[in-house]
Amino acid sequence: MQASFRKVRKALIACVVCAALCPGVPAMAETLSSLQEQSNQLQQEASSVNQGISALSGQIASIEADIETGNDELEATQNDIEMTREQLAIAKANEAMQKEKTANQIQVMYEKGTYSSLDMILSSSSMAEIFSAIDVAKNLEKTYSDQLEEYKAIHKTVEEQEKVLEEKEAALIEQQEELEAKKADLQSKRSELESQAAAVQADLNQVNGQIQAKKEEIAAEQARARAAAEAEERARQAAAAQAASSSSGSDDGDYSYSSSSSSYSTSSGGLTKYKGVVYYGGHRETYYSQRVLPGGGLNIPGRHVAEDGTIRDADGYICVASSDLAAGTEVDTSLGKAKVYDSGCASGTVDIYTDW
């Protein structure tokens, strides 16, 4: 109960002094909260923008793959067109050659009279030979005509193939142009988002810097408040001790002690009534007075006030409080050997029991 009361009392004093000396801390905390909210919003915006950039990059990659496929198909089509044009040139040449050949043969048969009816009659020994000669002439003419028609058909077929391939080529070129235009549009949008992302990141970095600076400012104010609270507590204890020393001593009912404050002696650099905080042996030393906290519930055999104003046990150990060490633990202090009899102070602190 004694230790608990000591903790609550010190916490209340610290809070009151902090509020009195640092009225700006709540306002700074509110500003910090506002900055953190801005940071969260900017982080969400940055995440959204980056997702948009990622989506556009995926679309651009897909379009680039389509463009590459289209280029391959266009190249193959253009190769087919080249081959078809070569075939068409051959077909045209064959057709022209056959046309000329057919015309020449017909001219020989009819214009020069090589196979004229009169020649056939005069040279034939019978009607059968006449009809046979006529059939030969007709068959020969038909053969040339059929070959000419065949070449014309080939010519027409190749021309149609060429037309189909040229239409396909035009469609592929148009498709590629559309894909390139879409790619350029997406790249433009991605560039805009990247610029936006850079701006958001710059804002975020600025806000985070302000947050860090504000945290450091608040920590500094809190440290000053704690120091002020401790100074106030020491001043209060000193005032209480002075008031008590000017009045008649009295027994609190639980124990008795005598004080020889005028003969206090402390080593150089040690804890004193007016030097309320020192660092010694890896710990922080403070003190609390039995005049403020009588400590009647503490079991201290041979309890008495030493010449230096410290409360000691029968063996001469200074009585101290510690939240890190178990009761009965011996510890070195700036005022000498001590033993733990109380708790409830801050971690890392040894609180020396005094009559100051």
| Residue-level pLDDT at 19 | 42
- Torsion of Cα atoms, 103 then 105 then 110 then 116, to 10°: -170
The pLDDT of residue 134 is 60
Helix axes 127-246, 24-106, angle to 10 degrees: 170
pLDDT at 191 (0 to 100): 93
Asked if 95 and 148 touch (Cβ cutoff 8 Å), the reply is yes
pLDDT at 11: 44
- The residue ranking higher by pLDDT, 194 or 114, is 194
Burial call 14-32: b when 16+ CB within 10 Å, e when fewer: beebbeebbeebeebeebb
Cα distance between residue 316 and residue 306, in whole Å = 8
Mean pLDDT along residues 131-143:
64
* Average pLDDT of span 138-167: 81
pLDDT at 22: 44
The mean per-residue pLDDT over the stretch 17-27 comes to 47
Q: List pLDDT tens digits, range 298-333.
A: 899 999 999 999 999 999 999 999 999 999 999 999
Residue 24 structure tokens: 């700006």
In three-state secondary structure terms, 186 is: helix
Q: What's the confidence (pLDDT) of residue 1?
A: 40
Domain ranges of the chain: 20-223, 257-354
Give 264's contacts (C-beta < 8 A, 6+ positions apart).
Answer: 272, 273, 307, 308, 309
The Cα–Cα gap between 47 and 44 comes to 5
| pLDDT tens profile 3-14 | 444 543 444 344
> At residue 32, does pLDDT exceed 90?
no
The tens digit of pLDDT for each residue in 76-112 reads 998 998 898 888 888 888 878 877 777 776 666 655 5
The yes-or-no verdict on residue 121 having pLDDT over 70 is no
Percent of all residues in the chain with a pLDDT value above 70, rounded to a whole number: 73
Whether 46 has a pLDDT exceeding 70, the answer reads yes
Calculate mean pLDDT across residues 208-236.
84
In which band, very low, low, confident or very high, does the pLDDT at 18 lie, cut at 50, 70 and 90? very low
Q: Would you say residue 2 has pLDDT above 60?
A: no
pLDDT reading at 257 higher than 50: no
Q: What is the mean pLDDT of residues 174-194?
A: 92
Q: Is pLDDT at 24 greater than 80 in this prediction?
A: no
Whole-angstrom distance, CA of residue 134 vs CA of residue 125: 14
Residue 164: how many other CB atoms lie within 10 Å: 14
Question: Residue 255: which pLDDT band, with cuts at 50, 70 and 90?
Answer: very low
Burial 111-132 (b: 16+ CB within 10 A, else e): eeeebeeeebeeeeeeeeebee
Q: Is 350 helix (H, G, I), strand (E, B) or coil?
A: strand
pTM (two decimals): 0.43
Confidence of residue 21 (pLDDT cuts 50, 70, 90): very low
Interstrand relation of 311-312 and 304-305 (parallel, antiparallel or unpaired): antiparallel
pLDDT tier at 120, thresholds 50, 70, 90:
low
Domain 20-223 has CATH 1.10.287.950: yes
* Six token digits for residue 171: 């469609």
pLDDT value at position 187?
92
> Please, what is the Cα angle at 112 between 106 and 114, to 5 degrees?
80
Would you place residue 288 in the very low, low, confident or very high pLDDT band (cuts 50, 70, 90)?
A: very high
Please name the amino acid found at residue 62.
Answer: S
pLDDT given at position 131 = 57
Question: Is the pLDDT assigned to residue 268 strictly greater than 60?
Answer: no
Asked if 338 and 331 touch (Cβ cutoff 8 Å), the reply is: yes
Q: Which residues of 62-75 are buried (b: 16+ CB within 10 A; e: fewer)?
A: ebeeebeebeeebe
